[in-house]
């Protein structure tokens, strides 16, 4: 493979998220003073991330190099590739990276965001929620190219579980880079838009310096089933069902929604859409021509009571067991318009995101207790993956024939399996790089090497603010959840330094009230004796008193009960 002649500046590829984890997909490619960002994804919190709404990548490196940014490129509309974009744009908008965003300023108009029409339409709705209205959204279509500084980026159609997904062909001063995005080789896509094998092959013939490839299903043998297999499963269920049918799936899976609609129309059923994101995404896809619904088929939920059960299909959110989702409220009998009854069939047409299995299981149990027949992935083929399996991954490597290979989008075991596939497909082992977030792959005229690591990591988001939740806050929440809190109130007279009130003890989540009387009395006596033993110079300093009470009580509870509740002494001077 011929490599273009370049100067002494290296080409840098830096994953900021999406390696050694599922979600948070984000990669920086940099040459000299030119930097492009591929995707800006989030992940949903794990069970031990108490009170956290979202997790996003650490943008520190990007903010330090903001003047070099030539553009942000989105491969498709899934939130694990786009969900962090509003937070990134807010931070780029700040003149001082440490200054807190006030929620009113427009985003940095110098940074353009590129993506296909559906991808940008979906992200536009998210930006509105964050009061970002002046973002430069630049629509592109497959086989179109853009020039961003030293890079020329061509968009290549791929098939995935969302419409309008693309891979990227990136021309750099050192050679071509292929970024596959999320993909699978679907020979019968729902919209008839086949993956652009010809363009990928063309790049393989020209020569590819580096390939970054989706590793999500690298452990799975064979080929991933076509999305149309779900249609056959839907058909079988519809033929056997005379009552209402409720289908829950990802709101972004327009192909899945289209198939549900097609089968419903075939069986002369009306469609009801439920859930804010489901209704919004369906309307966006309908307006752009990606979703086709016959006239008078989509009805409002208020009209549901006027339609016989045998003529209704409800398509809703909640496939991951989210507590406030439509399906969750239906399952617990809290939905305003829909109550489960005998004869209802619920189809959970989605795979559980790791960590959500218990939540989904609880929803299924609630639905079954209320009389519904629940069909989910473990008992029926009502879901297929949007990611390539082993044979497809090997085929892509053989088509592209890269000199260097970097597996992305997966946990370490996925990356390792993908690396083995690349080696079997002819990539030299020393040319395969399994990265960590923040590690820097440096390519020069003499070769490629991992060279150093930049600041990276996760930022916990509570609400919509840019400022993340610190690790210490998460630790406090875990302590509160596990051992509860003990509050000590004490009043001290400022002039005489005498105790005039308390100590009073309040506990929550520590011990049952009925069992706590003796313990609370012991703690009161301990705190009183501790205060009495304090010398005047300690009593005169509120912070010293608080520290003394906290230290004494912490030691006492640890020795007596082997418990470590959060201890909050409150000392008031009067």
Q: 214 an active-site residue?
A: yes
User: In terms of Cα–Cα distance, which of 43, 390, 29, 394 is closest to 176?
Assistant: 29
User: In terms of Cα–Cα distance, which of 405, 22, 13, 358 is closest to 217?
Assistant: 22
Taking the C-alpha atoms of residue 44 and residue 125, their distance in angstroms, rounded to an integer, is 19
Sequence-distant (6+) residues with CB within 8 A of 289 are none
Question: Residue 538, class by beta-carbon neighbours within 10 Å (0-12 exposed, 13-18 middle, 19+ buried)?
Answer: middle
Rounded to a whole number, what is the largest CA-CA distance in the chain?
88
User: In terms of Cα–Cα distance, which of 54, 57, 17, 21 is closest to 354?
Assistant: 21
- Phi and psi torsions of 37, nearest 5°: -115, 125
Q: Decide: 406 and 387 in contact? Cβ < 8 Å.
A: no
Catalytic residue among 214, 255, 366, 418: 214
Sequence-distant (6+) residues with CB within 8 A of 212 are 13, 27, 177, 178, 179, 180, 406, 407, 408
User: In terms of Cα–Cα distance, which of 255, 286, 236 is closest to 190?
Assistant: 255
Q: 53 an active-site residue?
A: no
Q: Tokens 């020329």 — which residue? A: 152
Q: How far is CA 131 from CA 88, 138, 279, 316, 465, in A?
A: 13, 19, 21, 27, 12
User: In terms of Cα–Cα distance, which of 505, 488, 500, 486 is closest to 573?
Assistant: 500
Helix, strand, coil share of the chain (percent; to 5): 35, 25, 40
The continuous run of DSSP H or E covering 170 comes out as: strand 166-172
Q: Tokens 């310096």 — which residue? A: 209
Taking the C-alpha atoms of residue 514 and residue 507, their distance in angstroms, rounded to an integer, is 12
Q: Which residues are catalytic?
A: 214, 387
């Amino acid at each position: 493979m011929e490599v273009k002649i370049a100067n002494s500046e290296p080409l840098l590829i830096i994953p900021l998220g999406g390696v050694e984890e599922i979600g948070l997909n984000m990669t920086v490619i940099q040459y000299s003073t030119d930097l492009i960002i591929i995707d800006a994804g989030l992940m949903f919190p794990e069970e031990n991330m108490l009170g956290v709404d979202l997790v996003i990548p650490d943008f520190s490196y990007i903010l330090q190099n903001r003047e070099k940014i030539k553009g942000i490129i989105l491969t498709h509309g899934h939130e694990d590739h786009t969900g962090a974009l509003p937070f990134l744009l807010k931070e780029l908008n700040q003149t001082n990276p440490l200054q807190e965003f006030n929620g009113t300023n427009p985003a940095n108009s110098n940074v353009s965001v590129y993506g296909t029409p559906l991808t940008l339409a979906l992200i536009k709705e998210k930006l509105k929620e964050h009061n970002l209205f002046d973002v430069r959204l630049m629509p592109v279509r497959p086989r179109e190219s853009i020039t961003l500084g030293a890079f020329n980026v061509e968009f290549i159609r791929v098939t995935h579980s969302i419409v309008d997904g693309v891979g990227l062909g990136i021309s750099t001063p050192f050679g071509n880079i292929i970024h596959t995005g999320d993909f699978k080789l679907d020979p019968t896509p729902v919209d008839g838009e086949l993956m652009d094998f010809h363009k990928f092959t063309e790049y393989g013939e020209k020569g590819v310096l580096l390939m970054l490839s989706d590793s999500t299903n690298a452990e799975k043998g064979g080929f991933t089933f076509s999305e149309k297999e779900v249609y056959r499963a839907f058909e079988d269920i519809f033929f056997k069902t005379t009552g209402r049918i409720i289908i829950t799936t990802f709101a972004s899976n327009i192909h899945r929604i289209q198939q549900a609609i097609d089968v419903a129309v075939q069986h002369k059923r009306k469609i009801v859409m439920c859930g804010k994101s489901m209704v919004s995404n369906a309307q966006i896809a309908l307006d752009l021509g990606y979703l086709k619904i016959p006239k008078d088929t989509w009805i409002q939920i208020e009209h549901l009571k006027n339609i016989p059960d045998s003529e209704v299909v409800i398509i809703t959110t909640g496939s991951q067991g989210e507590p406030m989702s439509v399906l969750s409220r239906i399952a617990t009998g809290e939905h305003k318009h829909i109550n489960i009854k005998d004869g209802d069939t619920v189809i959970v047409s989605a795979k559980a995101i790791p960590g959500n299995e218990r939540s989904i299981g609880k929803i299924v149990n609630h639905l079954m207790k209320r009389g519904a027949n629940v069909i989910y992935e473990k008992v029926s083929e009502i879901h297929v993956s949007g990611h390539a399996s082993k044979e497809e991954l090997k085929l892509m490597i053989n088509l592209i024939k890269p000199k260097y290979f970097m597996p992305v989008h997966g946990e370490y075991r996925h990356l390792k399996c993908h690396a083995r596939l690349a080696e079997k497909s002819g990539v030299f082992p020393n040319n395969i790089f399994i990265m960590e977030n923040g590690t820097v792959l440096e390519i020069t005229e003499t070769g490629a090497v991992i060279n150093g690591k930049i600041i990276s990591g996760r930022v916990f988001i509570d609400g919509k603010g840019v400022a993340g939740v610190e690790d210490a806050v998460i630790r406090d929440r875990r302590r509160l959840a596990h051992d509860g809190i003990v509050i000590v109130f004490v009043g001290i007279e400022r002039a005489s330094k005498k105790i005039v009130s308390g100590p009073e003890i309040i506990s929550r989540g520590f011990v049952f009230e009925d069992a706590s009387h003796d313990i609370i009395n012991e703690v009161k006596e301990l705190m009183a004796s501790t205060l009495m033993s304090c010398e005047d110079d300690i009593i005169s300093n509120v912070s010293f008193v608080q520290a003394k009470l906290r230290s004494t009580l912490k030691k006492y509870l640890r020795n007596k009960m082997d418990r470590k509740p959060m201890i909050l002494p409150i000392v008031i001077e009067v």
